[in-house]
């Protein structure tokens, strides 16, 4: 990679291995993860439950619960700085200021005994200068930014709907203008119209502030609408990366094709939706080869023995699949 391109990277992960060491064995949550995201862009992380998407987001904030989680090896760089070598104090200064995360469940992300403006103000006071009055004023401004009247800042989380709670969580994440926002299933459990409002609001804020976004989701419709570059994960590994056009119109990995076949499309005639047979592997006893091999309808003998190296299909499109090794 050229130095010019590296300067435009907000986050860079190399060969990251994360394990959860439990009483029932060692679970490999991430196994050799590689990730890059350019400044100001949106990267979509997709895959079914257990693929390692949320663990990736938590790793970028070094919030893997320890115990039982352990970052075994690899590097995580934010703006060229390796966060794995930083002290706890240095990381505390980064969280919320340089990198912020919208956690998956807004119902449990908010303190029920504090007003929403107090919770946003706490984040502001941690990273910005000024007193309580100034922090509360800024908190109300953040509520306005996400479409909630500032006058409602003195209310408690139980007085808000699910969609409004999600807006409050987004306001907290954006309170200190982070360079990188990690949005973990930001529209889970919301109805379709509220989902659209939340996503449109996030895109508008991103464009206004030039923010970089990692969008974690299992919903391919959402990622198609929001992300320019997509990483497909399966069982702790990246199996395919590409532009949105690559992934949706030229998918190369059987898992990516299976995911797309399971999604209803208005632009295609579909008799019925496909299903993916079987279940993800037990990562306490991970397979030697491709983790998707046991579920793959086009499995080759080598698939169960060795994980394939990256095959570059184009400048933007890469896949880890033995079926594609002859196309290099």
Grade residue 71 by pLDDT with cuts at 50, 70 and 90: very high
Average pLDDT over residues 2-23: 77
Average pLDDT over residues 136-152: 94
- Please give the pLDDT value at position 268: 63
Please say if the pLDDT value at position 70 is more than 90.
yes
DSSP string, 46-110: E-STTSSHHHHHHHHTT---TTTEEEEEEEEEETTEEGGGS-HHHHHHHBTTTEEEE-S-HHHHS
Structure-derived torsion over alpha carbons of residues 185, 187, 188, 194, reported in degrees to the nearest 10: 180
Please say if the pLDDT value at position 7 is more than 90.
no
- Please give the pLDDT value at position 271: 65
Is the pLDDT higher at 73 or at 190? 73
Prediction pTM value? 0.90
Grade residue 264 by pLDDT with cuts at 50, 70 and 90: confident
Please say if the pLDDT value at position 110 is more than 50.
yes
* β-sheet bridge partners, residue 31: 17
- Please give the pLDDT value at position 88: 93
The answer to whether 220 and 46 are in contact (CB under 8 A) is: yes
Average pLDDT over residues 239-268: 89
Would you state the structure tokens that stand for residue 270, as one six-digit string? Answer: 């579909």
Please say if the pLDDT value at position 3 is more than 50.
no
The answer to whether 69 and 240 are in contact (CB under 8 A) is: no
Q: How far apart are the first and last CA of the chain?
A: 19
Grade residue 327 by pLDDT with cuts at 50, 70 and 90: very low
Q: If residue 275 lies in a helix (H) or strand (E), which one and from where to where?
A: none
Would you state the structure tokens that stand for residue 39, as one six-digit string? Answer: 């400044």
Average pLDDT over residues 97-117: 89
């Amino acid at each position: 990679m050229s130095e010019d391109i590296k300067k435009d990277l907000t986050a860079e992960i190399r060969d990251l291995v994360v394990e959860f060491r439990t009483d029932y064995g060692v679970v490999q949550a991430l196994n050799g993860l590689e990730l890059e995201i350019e400044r100001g862009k949106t990267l979509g992380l997709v895959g079914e439950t257990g693929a390692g998407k949320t663990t990736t987001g938590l790793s970028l904030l070094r919030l893997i619960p320890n115990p039982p989680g352990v970052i075994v090896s690899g590097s995580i760089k934010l703006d060229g700085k390796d966060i794995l070598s930083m002290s706890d104090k240095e990381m505390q200064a980064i969280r919320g200021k340089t990198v912020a995360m919208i956690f998956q469940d807004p119902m449990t992300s908010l303190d029920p005994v504090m007003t929403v403006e107090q919770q946003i103000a706490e984040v502001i006071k941690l990273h910005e200068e000024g007193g309580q009055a100034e922090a509360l004023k800024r908190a109300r401004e953040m509520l306005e930014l996400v479409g909630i009247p500032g006058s409602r800042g003195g209310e408690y989380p139980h007085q808000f709907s699910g969609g409004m709670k999600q807006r409050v969580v987004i306001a907290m994440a954006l309170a200190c203008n982070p360079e990188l926002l990690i949005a973990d299933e930001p529209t889970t459990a919301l109805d379709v119209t509220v989902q659209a409002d939340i996503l449109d609001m996030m895109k508008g804020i991103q464009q206004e502030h030039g923010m970089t976004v990692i969008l974690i989701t299992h919903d391919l419709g959402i990622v198609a609408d929001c992300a320019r570059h997509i990483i497909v994960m399966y069982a702790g590994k990246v199996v395919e990366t590409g532009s949105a056009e690559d992934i949706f119109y030229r998918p190369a990995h059987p898992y990516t094709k299976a995911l797309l076949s399971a999604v209803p499309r208005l632009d295609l005639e579909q008799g019925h939706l496909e299903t993916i047979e079987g279940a993800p592997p037990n990562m306490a006893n991970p397979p030697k080869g491709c983790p998707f091999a046991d579920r793959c309808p086009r499995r080759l003998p080598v698939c169960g023995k060795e994980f394939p190296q990256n095959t570059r299909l184009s400048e933007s499109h890469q896949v880890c699949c033995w079926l594609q090794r002859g196309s290099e």
